[in-house]
Each structure stands twice: as C-alpha cells, then as structure tokens.
C-alpha cells in the first residue's frame, strides 16, 4: 500500500469506565499491538488505543481484540461496552462526544456498576426425541430460578432450530457463585440437553453505547 | 425512456401496472438480500456453538466459518449497493 493510500490514525474506543485518578495504561494489547490507555472526561474515562481511521468489518480479527481488551479492563472494574468499530479522528472529537453523551453514560453506569453479564444457551442434542414436555419445563425452570438471583435478564434471538433458550443475565459480581451453583444444579437436572454457561462478559445486552456526532444524537 | 415515462406518470398520479410490478420485484429482491445477511449471521453463530459443543472438529469449524464470512461479506456488499432503490426525482 502506498503512503497516500494508508488510512489516517485515529482514536479507537473499546469501553468506558469510571475515571481512574491518573491516566492508566493496560499495556500493548490493542488493535495492531497498540497501547491501550485511558482518556478522562469528568468522572469517566474512555479506554482507547491509536488505530486506523477506517470502517471496521465484523469479519475481521479485530473483533476478538476488542473483546479481549474489554475482558482485561473489566477484571477489576465495571465497564460500559462500546460498540465495535468506534474510531474518532482526534481527542477533541472524542471529548465532544463524551460531553454530548455524559448523561447517558452516567445513567448506564448506574445500571451496570458492580455487575456482569452471564449467558445461558440450551441446545437440543442431535437426533433428540420425545422431549416436548421437558423442553417447556426446562425453559421455565431455568428462567424462573436464575431470574431470582439476577438483577435483570434478556431473552435473545434463537439463531438455530436446535437452540431452545438463549438468555443473558445481569448479575451482581458478589452473586456470581450463587448463580453458577444454580446453573450447575439445573444443568444436571436436564443433563440430556446441552447447556452452555458463559461469562462473565461486559454487559453487552444491557447497555450498548454508540458514540456519534452530536448532530446524530450523541450517544444511544 | 421507459423510466422517464414511469417517473412522469407517477408524478401526475398515474401508474402502469407493468412498471409497478417491476418496482415491486426490485423491492422484494432488496428485502431478500437483507434477509440473507441476517441468515448468514445466524449460521455463523450456530456454527460456533456446534463447535463449542464438540459436534465439529476445529478444522470443520474453521473451514465453515471462513466460507460463511465470505458469504456474509458478499451479501453485505450487495445490500450496500441497494439494487432495488430507484431515485425518486419528482417525489410522490
């Protein structure tokens, strides 16, 4: 690629956190091996790295880097996930977007503070037969039992004919063990169905902030 | 010429069933492309879960994943072209 074709460098945003006292570095774990660090705006900070100003496609390996950075950041703090592919021309424009979306960020942080997302998928085994009644009972048991521990839950798209349940749960960090224990009991009870328990994740399904220009509504 | 006639007739509130039919087909086609991208995304997720449940080997998963992502890029490119959209110059 010639120098003229090379995309300009911008600031890529992974997530938002409560602002640390000083600028914090998370190491060179960003897209293209760039340093991931914080840029503060009032009591929040964007977790960013330098990255090319371009359109980021979902099929590219950068999605994994985006997820891994969020995973690292959320180890010790609450995060507000930002949609994949958000890149700003410069620090000033990021600051303008933060100013426009400040209220939305503050509200969203209240929702997710001290909480994580956990996921449950229940899959019908290959060549499963005579499970009709059991399927309904299983869904009711999982949702009924797990929503007692979770703060919130969302039923997600069933993207396969074999997928019986696809749900996300917002759970307090100090209740993860209790939630996991209940999943274990239910998983054993319905051992002939395939259960996938995943997380902790950033709360993708409970808050998803897209940062845009002020004219387009700031954050949503 | 046909297109100009179509636009002119639409602008004065008249339509020719034949031309309207073509427009309808274009819209259906456009909708089908959008559906297609959604379907492929679902298959990418399903493929991943089947691999995680041990129903596919890593090689089978990766090969299917590459193929599905190729199909997705193609479907999204077609969607971006917006083949079914006609610019309505005169409105109405």
B73 to chain A, any CB pair closer than 8 A? The answer is yes
**DSSP letter at A202?**
-
Residue B57 belongs to domain spanning: 27-84
Q: Decide if B4 is inside a domain.
A: no
Give residue for tokens 């002020």. Answer: A214
Q: Which residues of B touch A57 (CB under 8 A)?
A: 73
Contact A62, A56 (CB under 8 A): yes
Structural domain count, chain B:
1
The reply to whether residue A121 touches residue B49, judged by beta carbons under 8 angstroms, is yes
pLDDT of residue A56: 83
The reply to whether residue B49 touches residue A123, judged by beta carbons under 8 angstroms, is yes
pLDDT of residue A215: 45
B72: pLDDT strictly greater than 50: yes
Read off the pLDDT of each residue in A186-204 and give the average, rounded to a whole number: 92
A120-155, pLDDT tens digit by residue? 999 988 877 777 778 889 999 999 999 999 999 999
Q: Which residue of A has its CA nearest to B51?
A: A196
B68 to chain A, any CB pair closer than 8 A? The answer is no
Q: Which residue of A has its CA nearest to B47?
A: A160
The reply to whether residue A57 touches residue B55, judged by beta carbons under 8 angstroms, is no
SS (H, E, C) A94-126: HHHHHHHHHHHHHHHHHHHCCEEEEEEEEECCC
Question: Domains in chain A, start-ordered, CATH in brackets?
Answer: 3-113 (no CATH), 115-201 (3.30.70.600)
Tokens encoding A209: 């902030």
Q: Decide if B5 is inside a domain.
A: no
Q: Which residue of A has its CA nearest to B52?
A: A196
Q: Decide if B7 is inside a domain.
A: no
């Amino acid at each position: 690629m010639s120098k003229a074709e090379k995309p300009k460098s911008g600031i890529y945003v992974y997530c938002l956190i409560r602002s640390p006292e000083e600028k914090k570095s998370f190491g060179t774990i960003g897209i293209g091996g760039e340093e991931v660090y914080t840029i503060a705006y009032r009591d929040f900070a964007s977790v960013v790295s330098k990255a090319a100003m371009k359109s980021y496609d979902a099929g590219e390996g950068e999605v994994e880097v985006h997820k891994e950075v969020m995973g690292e950041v959320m180890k010790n703090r609450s995060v507000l996930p930002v949609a994949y592919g958000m890149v700003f021309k410069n620090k000033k424009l990021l600051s303008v977007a933060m100013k426009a979306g400040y209220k939305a960020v503050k509200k969203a942080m209240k929702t997710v503070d001290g909480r994580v997302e956990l996921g449950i998928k229940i899959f019908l085994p290959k060549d499963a037969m005579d499970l009709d009644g059991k399927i309904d009972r299983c869904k009711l048991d999982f949702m009924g039992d797990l929503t007692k521990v979770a703060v919130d839950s969302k039923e997600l798209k069933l993207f396969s004919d074999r997928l019986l349940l696809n749900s996300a749960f917002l759970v307090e960090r100090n209740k993860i063990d209790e939630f996991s224990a209940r999943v274990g009991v239910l998983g054993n009870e319905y051992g002939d169905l395939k259960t996938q328990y995943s997380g902790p994740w950033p709360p993708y399904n409970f808050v998803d902030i897209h940062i845009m220009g002020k004219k387009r509504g700031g954050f949503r | 010429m046909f297109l100009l006639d179509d636009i002119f007739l639409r602008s004065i509130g008249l339509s020719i069933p034949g031309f309207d039919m073509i427009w309808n087909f274009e819209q259906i086609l456009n909708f089908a492309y959008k559906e297609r991208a959604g379907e492929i995304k679902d298959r990418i997720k399903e493929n991943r879960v089947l691999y995680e449940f041990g129903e596919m080997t890593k090689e089978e998963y990766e090969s299917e994943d590459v193929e599905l992502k190729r199909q997705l890029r193609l479907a999204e490119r077609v969607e971006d072209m917006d083949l079914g959209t006609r610019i309505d110059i005169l409105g109405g």
